Amino acid sequence: MHHMEWDDIKYYLAVMREGSVTQAGKSLGVNHTTVSRRIAAFEKKLNVRLFDRLPSGYIATEAADNIFSHALQMEESALSIDREVSGRDNELRGSLLLTISSSLGNSILFPYLAEFRRRYPFIELQIKSTPNLSNLNSREADIAIRLTPSPPDNLLGKRICLMGHGIYASKSYLDNLNNIKESTVDLVLWGNEQERPVWSKEQFANTRIAVRVDSGSNMLAALKGGLGLARLPSYLAEGEETLMRLPITLTPSSWGLWVLSHPDLRNTARVRVCREFLYEIFEQQRNAIEGFYSSNKNKDHQTKLTLSVSDSIYHNKAFSILTKSRII
């Protein structure tokens, strides 16, 4: 009878999921040679070959496939023990891993972290920037901050607010348009947008695609660089002095800002106080996230953009097509 150790299973599962020792090493935080050595030792212990070593990577054998479901059960048991122990941790100290996309973190999280450190000096924050919802069941993170329409049902979560969008452009770009209704308007689109968005078809007769981007930070940079108009999350654009928001009505988004964690960690002190802190700071930023004007720059222009063209600062820029639009 073979003695199975959790560490053996952990390395085996990493290779099964990643398909290579290099990627498995990255996921485990170890060197790829360590993964190769541990897999070879595990195969020797079982007296069976688990992976065929090919130039394209590690390919699971029939033996590896046969034990996969059993290995998953061992993993869940180990993680359940870890969550149970962590869930009874009542001390406001130790490490805490958050995940959040880089653009969201830069805009609504990092400016407030000094206050968190002041309140809880013995909690060591680790922040992982990723656009994906980390697997909280596998403890890839303690708390995930996400923009999503509907998070997984098995997670403990709170929706702070809905995410607002607006159509933005730089002041310099708008200044260079003789007539926004008759001119050819440049669009900055997301990489997965296959055609002109509905709002551009409804508002502008002539448009052309200036550039496609793959992230909110890149889209923000493109707008600030004067490349054209774009639909942008309000939390990214509201604080930018060089950008103007056009009074174009958009269909409200179903995506909300969520703070998520695993239910087993609901009573972990450091997780609980961090969740409450996040609720607090995001509630303070509700207007910016939902798309209502909050900065002095936007207060100055809010009335001008929602009034008729005769009252607009762009009196000669043909905002006449937008006169009855409202800001959402």
pLDDT at 76: 80
pLDDT of amino acid 140: 77
Task: Parse the chain into domains and list their residue ranges.
Answer: 6-87, 94-163+255-289, 165-251+295-322
Domain 6-87 fold is Arc Repressor Mutant, subunit A (1.10.10)
- pLDDT on residue 160: 92
- Strand ranges inside the chain, DSSP E: 51-54, 57-60, 94-100, 123-129, 143-148, 156-162, 165-170, 184-190, 206-213, 230-233, 243-246, 256-261
Look at residue 293 and give its three-state secondary structure.
coil
- The per-residue pLDDT for 29 is 83
Q: Which residues pair with 55 in a beta bridge?
A: none
What's residue 309's pLDDT?
29
Instruction: Select 165-251+295-322's CATH number: 1.10.10.10, 3.40.50.2300, 3.10.20.30, 3.40.190.10.
Output: 3.40.190.10
CATH of region 94-163+255-289, choose from 3.40.50.970, 3.40.50.10320, 3.40.190.10, 3.30.413.10: 3.40.190.10
Q: What's this model's pTM, rounded to 2 decimal places?
A: 0.61
User: Could you list the pLDDT tens digit for every one of the 328 residues in the chain?
Assistant: 456 678 889 899 999 999 999 999 988 888 999 999 999 999 999 999 999 999 888 999 999 999 898 888 888 877 776 656 555 567 788 899 999 988 889 889 999 999 999 999 999 999 988 766 556 766 678 999 998 898 888 888 899 999 999 999 999 999 988 777 678 999 999 888 878 898 998 888 889 999 999 888 899 999 999 999 999 998 888 888 999 999 888 888 889 999 998 888 888 899 999 999 999 999 999 988 988 754 434 433 433 333 222 233 333 333 333 322 223 2
Inter-residue contact 98 to 144 (CB < 8 Å):
yes
Distance CA 219, CA 230 (A): 8
In sequence order, which ranges of 165-233 are alpha helices (DSSP H)? 171-175, 198-203, 216-224
d(CA 230, CA 308): 22
- CA atoms 206, 208, 210, 216: torsion sign: positive
Gap between the Cα atoms of 314 and 320, Å rounded: 10
Domains 6-87 and 165-251+295-322 share a fold: no
Contact 197, 251 (CB under 8 A): no
